[in-house]
Chains A and B, each alone.
Chain A
């Protein structure tokens, strides 16, 4: 019996406390050389794709810029397209918002990335509706929260229609007759709804993979519905084995209703890893990394975000604050719900801290710096393989904790073991598109009327 094949994505280190900038080997988070190095490492490790998050506004904390974590990152589309020029095989997947973009423009940008990379583009479609991020955009925070996924779903459908509006053989370029396009080369795309009024003729030819791969990351019921309708990959947060298996069954079980088979949607949860020559050494390193990820200031800041209070007088190595959270002014809209939610969250944290006798810092380590796989390369490889063979995931989105070297060890020490187990590719197929790498069914252009 052939083994299920593992799919891996490489997450460029982001702007939260997972990324340890204080590490002596940490490099620039913005120089192109860092991105090139990371992409080449992922390609050396035969990953399916490189994954990039998106910034729409710098993080703030209590009304001021958050200054403890890495900040500042590139425009997603521009950096991925630059990386297309220095890589050959690896997929390039970017996070791009459906609220603060327009379908025609985003589809042509992703179409451009897809053509310039010879079919290696992907789009992690995310939604947002808040006024904080909206402040940087023409329409501001214009979208009702409830409409986020309505817009996202229509956006995706409209984008797919644009990407399939060109025939594969649209360009004939017959110098003799003077016909550049064949007669029915491009279908007009009409979409009229409460949220869109588009009457478009697309201007980017069809790519070798038909259209970019679509990734989805939200975990809400609306997010799962979006995924089962539109996505090719889910970037989930379900990494605990039993939980992951349950999520896998749930999502894959919904596909039949959409006329899709199991292989057409891959589930690649976020995961972190720490290696050591022995289990003991790996545990020690994991502890060191966690302490670097959650410095005392980081822990206090984390609680301040929940408490909405200045907690700088508290000792991170001491117990949780006994002061109650500031839940805002009572006249504020939606006060009751928010008030209850904050109270509940604080109660939950107090319970957890009490049950395990945790300091502030230890609690925040539990919450934000728990590493998915810790052990020898053999252990990590066997765990990853177990998740895939036993249908808890189709693979993982690996998040390194140091820029740009965070993936080196994984590529050098874990990947060869996955290959030995017969669960991972030994080379890229020449000319493979990202759809091919992920083992997704080919994109079928809709029949023309």
Chain B
């Protein structure tokens, strides 16, 4: 019963997570997690530097279509 009551909330949370991941809203958090796991000790980029760098990479190749 309690599980059923939580269902809408869990759905909303899943949609929110999907939206954040699909739009790139959580890209910086993912980068920090990756950095901490694989390159601990190396300096990480700031949020702003990361955002700028991500945009530059994204728009150097073909990422939009007719």
Do chains A and B interact in one complex?
no
Name B residues whose Cβ lies closer than 8 Å to a Cβ of A. Answer: none
Name A residues whose Cβ lies closer than 8 Å to a Cβ of B. Answer: none
